[in-house]
Amino acid sequence: FALKASGEYLALVEADGTTIAYEYAPEYPPQSTDVSYGLAQQVTQTTLIDEGADARYIVPTGNIAGWNTNGFNDSGWALGPTGIGYENSPADYSTYIESVVPNGTPSLYLRQTFNVANPADINHLELRLRYDDGFLAYINGVLVASDNAPGSPLYDSPATGSHPDALAVEFEPFDLSAFRDHLVAGTNVLTIQAMNRSAGNSDMLIEATLTATQDSGGASGPAGYMTQPTPGA
């Protein structure tokens, strides 16, 4: 079927064929390309980890048991703002690195805690990363995202591929909504093993943000035009 762009009567009818569940009467207004019309949801977005937030981090020299789990004691690790990495070539990442690790670092661990009042309220969870060259990301010890990482990582594992500099400085989104059940009420931890392609690489970068979205569970308010796309929101 098709709907008239100029507007017409439109209704959602119950299975009895006569009861009107909802209607646009006497008609919905004229429609335009790439502009939706209807009832909006009330959406609240919460930043759990912001760009530049502090992290505990370490360049491991051996295996560290439980480093990626909630409750691990990281008080002996360095503390500093993200992004974390190094740069020994002209200015590729210099504007993004706030905490410096030694040149040639093959792999590093970082931990960032965040609080969730009620995990059941979260409808959508999104991790965004700047990274060079690979990573493994965990929430409360559960692997939730990875790229250019070996299947059985060691503390000094290099990345299995390259993430070009032009892409590494852009935040890449990763939908973690499938892992919402691993959140707990109170303190949670995002942990990342960042991996460089090789010890001889000229630079390295890792920085994360984490956002949670809660919607009202239903549409509310008067109908109107919506000029921004809303998938995932």
Q: What is the mean pLDDT of residues 209-221?
A: 79
What is the three-state SS of 197-219?
CCCCCCEEEEEEEEEEEEEEEEE
Q: What is the mean pLDDT of the chain?
A: 92
Higher pLDDT, 3 or 92: 3
Position 124, amino acid = H
Q: Is the pLDDT of residue 197 over 60?
A: yes
pLDDT, tens digit (0-9, with 9 covering 90-100), for 95-122: 999 999 999 899 999 999 999 999 998 9
pLDDT, tens digit (0-9, with 9 covering 90-100), for 15-74: 999 999 999 999 999 999 888 888 877 778 899 999 999 999 999 999 999 999 999 999
Q: How much is the pTM?
A: 0.79
Task: Note the pLDDT of residue 44.
Answer: 85
Q: What is the mean pLDDT of residues 182-202?
A: 92
Tell me the pLDDT band of 127, cut-offs 50, 70 and 90.
very high
* Per-position DSSP letters for 44-92, written without gaps between them: EEEEEE-TT-EEEEE--SS--TTTTSTT---TTSEEEESPEEEE-SSSS
